[in-house]
Protein backbone atom coordinates (compact mmCIF):
# COMPACT_ATOMS: atom_id res chain seq x y z
CA UNK A 1 0.00 0.00 0.00
CA UNK A 2 2.86 2.37 0.80
CA UNK A 3 4.37 1.75 -2.62
CA UNK A 4 1.07 2.65 -4.30
CA UNK A 5 0.93 5.90 -2.33
CA UNK A 6 4.49 6.77 -3.39
CA UNK A 7 3.61 6.12 -7.02
CA UNK A 8 0.52 8.31 -6.75
CA UNK A 9 2.55 11.12 -5.20
CA UNK A 10 5.18 10.79 -7.93
CA UNK A 11 2.48 10.97 -10.60
CA UNK A 12 0.94 14.02 -8.90
CA UNK A 13 4.31 15.80 -8.95
CA UNK A 14 4.73 14.90 -12.62
CA UNK A 15 1.23 16.22 -13.37
CA UNK A 16 2.00 19.49 -11.58
CA UNK A 17 5.21 19.83 -13.59
CA UNK A 18 3.33 19.08 -16.81
CA UNK A 19 0.73 21.76 -16.02
CA UNK A 20 3.46 24.31 -15.38
CA UNK A 21 5.25 23.29 -18.56
CA UNK A 22 2.05 23.61 -20.59
CA UNK A 23 1.37 27.10 -19.23
CA UNK A 24 4.81 28.15 -20.47
CA UNK A 25 4.52 26.37 -23.84
CA UNK A 26 2.90 28.03 -26.84
CA UNK A 27 1.70 26.93 -30.24
CA UNK A 28 0.65 29.01 -33.21
CA UNK A 29 -2.64 28.68 -35.02
CA UNK A 30 -2.41 29.84 -38.59
CA UNK A 31 -4.97 30.66 -41.27
CA UNK A 32 -4.92 32.21 -44.72
CA UNK A 33 -1.32 31.17 -45.45
CA UNK A 34 -0.16 33.09 -42.40
CA UNK A 35 -2.35 36.15 -42.86
CA UNK A 36 -3.80 35.54 -39.40
CA UNK A 37 -1.93 33.95 -36.50
CA UNK A 38 -2.96 33.25 -32.96
CA UNK A 39 -0.77 32.16 -30.10
CA UNK A 40 -2.22 29.63 -27.68
CA UNK A 41 -0.61 28.28 -24.52
CA UNK A 42 -0.47 24.56 -23.88
CA UNK A 43 -3.25 24.95 -21.33
CA UNK A 44 -5.53 26.52 -23.95
CA UNK A 45 -5.23 30.25 -23.26
CA UNK A 46 -5.14 32.54 -26.30
CA UNK A 47 -2.36 35.06 -25.69
CA UNK A 48 -2.03 36.87 -29.02
CA UNK A 49 -3.79 37.49 -32.31
CA UNK A 50 -1.88 38.89 -35.27
CA UNK A 51 -3.49 40.00 -38.53
CA UNK A 52 -1.25 40.99 -41.43
CA UNK A 53 -1.41 44.64 -42.44
CA UNK A 54 -2.52 43.70 -45.94
CA UNK A 55 -5.44 41.64 -44.62
CA UNK A 56 -6.42 44.32 -42.11
CA UNK A 57 -6.39 46.99 -44.85
CA UNK A 58 -8.57 44.86 -47.11
CA UNK A 59 -11.63 45.99 -45.18
CA UNK A 60 -13.26 42.61 -45.75
CA UNK A 61 -14.60 42.10 -42.23
CA UNK A 62 -16.31 38.81 -43.00
CA UNK A 63 -13.10 37.32 -44.42
CA UNK A 64 -11.07 38.55 -41.43
CA UNK A 65 -13.58 37.06 -39.00
CA UNK A 66 -13.44 33.73 -40.83
CA UNK A 67 -9.63 33.76 -40.81
CA UNK A 68 -9.48 34.58 -37.10
CA UNK A 69 -11.92 31.78 -36.34
CA UNK A 70 -9.92 29.32 -38.46
CA UNK A 71 -6.65 30.35 -36.79
CA UNK A 72 -8.23 29.96 -33.34
CA UNK A 73 -9.48 26.48 -34.20
CA UNK A 74 -6.05 25.54 -35.51
CA UNK A 75 -4.30 26.90 -32.42
CA UNK A 76 -6.67 25.19 -30.00
CA UNK A 77 -6.30 21.91 -31.90
CA UNK A 78 -2.50 22.18 -31.71
CA UNK A 79 -2.63 23.04 -28.00
CA UNK A 80 -4.88 20.03 -27.38
CA UNK A 81 -2.44 17.78 -29.21
CA UNK A 82 0.45 19.17 -27.17
CA UNK A 83 -1.52 18.55 -23.95
CA UNK A 84 -2.36 14.99 -24.99
CA UNK A 85 1.27 14.25 -25.85
CA UNK A 86 2.48 15.63 -22.53
CA UNK A 87 -0.24 13.78 -20.62
CA UNK A 88 0.68 10.55 -22.35
CA UNK A 89 4.27 10.92 -21.14
CA UNK A 90 3.13 11.38 -17.54
CA UNK A 91 0.56 8.59 -17.48
CA UNK A 92 2.47 6.13 -19.62
CA UNK A 93 -0.29 6.18 -22.22
CA UNK A 94 -3.16 5.54 -19.80
CA UNK A 95 -6.29 7.53 -20.61
CA UNK A 96 -7.18 9.21 -17.34
CA UNK A 97 -10.01 11.68 -18.04
CA UNK A 98 -10.16 14.93 -16.11
CA UNK A 99 -6.45 15.28 -15.40
CA UNK A 100 -6.08 18.37 -17.58
- Cα separations (Å) of 62 from 28, 29, 42? 22, 19, 29
**Cα 48 from Cα 75, distance rounded (Å):** 11
* Percent of all residues in the chain with a pLDDT value above 70, rounded to a whole number: 92
Per-residue model confidence as pLDDT tens digits over 31-78: 999 999 999 999 999 999 999 999 999 999 999 999 999 999 999 999
- E strand spans, 34-100: 36-41, 46-51
On the question of pLDDT at 97 being above 80, the answer is no
For each of the domains in the chain, give its residue range(s) and CATH number, in order of start. 2-91 (3.30.1310.10)
If phi > 0 it is left, if psi is from -120 to 50 it is alpha, else beta; for residue 55 that is alpha
Closest CA to 63 of 86, 89, 33, 93: 33
Predicted TM-score of the model (pTM): 0.81
Amino acid sequence: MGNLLKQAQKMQRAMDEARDELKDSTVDGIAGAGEVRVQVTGDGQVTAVTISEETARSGDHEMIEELVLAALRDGIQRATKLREERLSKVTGGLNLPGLF
